[in-house]
Amino acid sequence: MKISTSLYFDRSTQQLSTVQSNLAKTQEQLSTGKNIVKPSDAPDKAALVTRLQSELSRNTSYQDTLKSANVRLTSEETALKNTSDVLYRIKELAVQGANDTLSPQDRQSVALEMKGLREQIMSLANSQDSNGNFLFSGSRTGQPAFAQDATGRVSYQGDQSRMKVNVGDNRRMNLNMTGTDAFVRVTRTDDKGAQTGVDFFQSLNDLANAVISGDMTNIQRGIGEVDGLQNGISNGLAQVGSDLSVVDLQTSVLDEVVLRLKTTQSDVEDLDYTAAITKMNKDQLALEAAQSSFSKISQMSLFKFLN
């Protein structure tokens, strides 16, 4: 079989190009730290990496949502705990105001502190999160949950919406608590036996006025109503605590999922540096050998042997 000079040069050039291409690919892998630099390197593995990245992105989004939910729920918990503490103080003052030995001036001082505490609770009920959204306004997060008119009457301005967010592919959770769920109304029975609903802040205001006037009957009624208000706050705290437990549990689940996905992605995509360096050294030796042999053989001709 005769090999023409043209065929020899074509074959040699093709072999050199292949070796150089292999070396360049290995060097590119080393520079990026990735086993798959472009999809054509391994189409099946590239498709798997794309799916893993999509799942990671989705689960990372859930993690961010949980972080935001945790911040909001923690703010709600803090506001309700502080409200509970203030209610305990109001009850102490009411019991003190039920003492017949207090002078009118003393009653005035006690009632003044009670009304100040009522204003403090209203401020807590209108707490905002780090983004300036009102915590207890339902979906109307841009306006305060409670507002007071010129006569001192407080009304709820929010709605009854319980917002839910996705924290997993098949998991949703509550993000908020409405003002009426936490700052509950109490049932009051009048002298005729009729029952009426009295809102949270009106009950506290009536109690303070009863202390001022020394109305023992209404003071005792108000003390009982404070217990009902306290129960509403306690129930609200229990609900927020339950939601925070969901946050902790789901965060742990997502952390494990994300770790598993990243581990799988690393196994598929990340480069084995030891194997890559060994391969690069082999490719360099192969290239040097091919270049040397091509250089020597290309100089050979029949005329040199005839001479």
CB proximity list for 55: less than 8 A, separation 6 or greater: 261
The pLDDT tens digits for 246-263 are 999 999 999 999 999 888
Measured distance CA(99)–CA(299) in Å, rounded: 120
pLDDT score, position 192:
80
Q: Which residue has the higher pLDDT, 283 or 136?
A: 136
Measured distance CA(216)–CA(98) in Å, rounded: 6
The pLDDT tens digits for 55-72 are 999 999 999 999 999 999
pTM, two decimals, is: 0.75
- pLDDT for residue 28 is more than 70: no
Q: How confident is the model at residue 36 (pLDDT cuts 50, 70, 90)?
A: low
Question: What number is the average pLDDT over the span 270-278?
Answer: 61
Question: What number is the average pLDDT over the span 84-90?
Answer: 96
Measured distance CA(137)–CA(128) in Å, rounded: 10
